[in-house]
């Protein structure tokens, strides 16, 4: 098990999730992001799942919960880098991450967050 | 693909599932065996995710959060190369298996959670369960 590292880039928090994410670390990530959002002025969260091999219902629901909580704390979440095989599996499981912005890679994800602008949360 | 006689003993892996380490170990192993058998990336993901769902149910709902998982290569048949995973627990069991397989139904007890989704990921699924007798779920996938 290993804590998911979170780095700050401007007003965006970037979390790069490792290949095999244990439940414990996923829950820790949720808590860590909540604390960082509470204390700082980040307005975006970028979750990089490009190396994650398996996203099951637990992790999919947790990602939804992270995005929903971040939104309440004034930050939009973008999930980037989902592997095609993971995307197909999620759809078949019936978990399509409704309401969560996605992008192919971190560059495009950051571009989405940049376009939201500083007042995006009030729109 | 080697002829059966030239191949090493069928790939088989068995373990006790207890705690989230057991979930990760089982799904990693299932992916390894599937990869070894020549399944593509999407099928590897489907199989690993199905195993994650089933073992998670064991950890969450079975008595003591424990069960057993067996992952094995199936004897080649007219359906081709196949993988089978059997997950067993001594949990409370499922009173109505048919109902547990219906979309939207979740008893919150035993392996009944998330079974419809798991079935969609696999080619075959069989459930043997009764109240007080625990639950055994067998899933299979054939290589296209």
Per-residue pLDDT tens over the stretch B26-79: 999 999 999 999 999 999 999 999 999 999 989 988 888 899 999 999 988 888
Average pLDDT over residues B88-103: 83
Tally of domains within chain A: 1
According to DSSP, the residues that pair with B73 across neighbouring strands are B83
What band does B111 get if pLDDT is binned at 50, 70 and 90? very low
Q: Which residue has the higher pLDDT, B9 or A113?
A: A113
Please state, rounded to an integer, the average pLDDT across all residues of chain A: 91
pLDDT score at B10: 65
Q: CB-based contact (8 Å) between B27 and chain A?
A: yes
Where in the sequence is the domain holding A43, given as residue range(s)? 6-122
Residue A80 lies in a domain: yes
Provide, rounded to the nearest whole percent, the portion of chain B with pLDDT above 90: 58
What band does B105 get if pLDDT is binned at 50, 70 and 90? low
Hey, what CATH topology would domain B11-142 get?
A: Heat Shock Protein 90 (3.30.565)
What are the φ/ψ torsions at residue B135 (nearest 5 degrees)? Answer: -140, 140
Per-residue pLDDT tens over the stretch A48-78: 999 999 999 999 999 999 999 999 999 999 9
Are the Cβ atoms of A57 and B21 closer than 8 angstroms?
no
Chosen from A21, A85, A87, A88 to mutate, greatest number of chain B CBs within 10 A: A85
Alpha helices (runs of H) in B78-127, residue ranges in sequence order: 97-100, 115-121
pLDDT score at A116: 81
Domain ranges of chain B: 11-142
In sequence order, what DSSP letters do the residues of A34-78 get, joined into one string?
A: HHHHHHS---EEEEE-TT-----HHHHHHHHHHHHHHHHTT-EEE
Structure tokens at B136: 């055994």
Supply the ipTM of this predicted assembly.
Answer: 0.90
According to DSSP, the residues that pair with A48 across neighbouring strands are A16, A80
**CATH code: domain of residue A33:** 3.30.750.24
Residue A1 lies in a domain: no
Contact B59, B19 (CB under 8 A): yes
In chain A, which residue's Cα lies nearest the Cα of B27?
A54
Count CA atoms closer than 13 A to A112's CA, side-chain side.
20
Residue A18 lies in a domain: yes
């Amino acid at each position: 098990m290993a804590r998911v590292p979170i780095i700050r880039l401007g007003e965006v928090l970037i979390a790069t999730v490792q290949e095999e994410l244990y439940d414990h670390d996923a829950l820790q990530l949720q808590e860590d992001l909540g604390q960082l959002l509470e204390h700082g002025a980040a307005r975006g969260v970028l979750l990089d799942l490009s190396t994650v091999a398996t996203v099951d219902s637990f992790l999919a629901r947790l990602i939804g919960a992270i995005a929903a909580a971040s939104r309440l704390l004034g930050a939009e979440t973008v999930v980037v880098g989902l592997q095609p095989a993971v995307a197909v599996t999620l759809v078949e499981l019936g978990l399509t991450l409704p309401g969560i912005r996605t992008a192919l890679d971190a560059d495009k994800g950051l571009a989405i967050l940049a376009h939201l602008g500083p007042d995006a949360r009030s729109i | 693909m080697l002829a059966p006689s030239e191949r090493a003993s069928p790939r088989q892996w068995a373990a006790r599932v207890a705690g989230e380490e057991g979930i990760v170990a089982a799904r990693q192993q299932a992916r390894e065996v599937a990869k070894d058998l020549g399944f593509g990336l999407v099928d590897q993901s489907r199989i690993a995710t199905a195993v994650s769902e089933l073992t998670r149910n064991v950890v969450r709902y079975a008595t003591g959060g424990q069960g057993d998982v067996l992952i094995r290569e199936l004897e080649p048949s007219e359906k081709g190369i196949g993988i089978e995973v059997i997950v067993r627990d001594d949990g409370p069991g499922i009173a109505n298996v048919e109902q547990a397989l219906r979309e939207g139904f979740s008893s919150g007890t035993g392996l009944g959670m998330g079974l419809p989704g798991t079935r969609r990921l696999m080619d075959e699924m069989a459930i043997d369960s009764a109240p007080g007798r625990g639950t055994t779920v067998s899933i299979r996938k054939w290589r296209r």
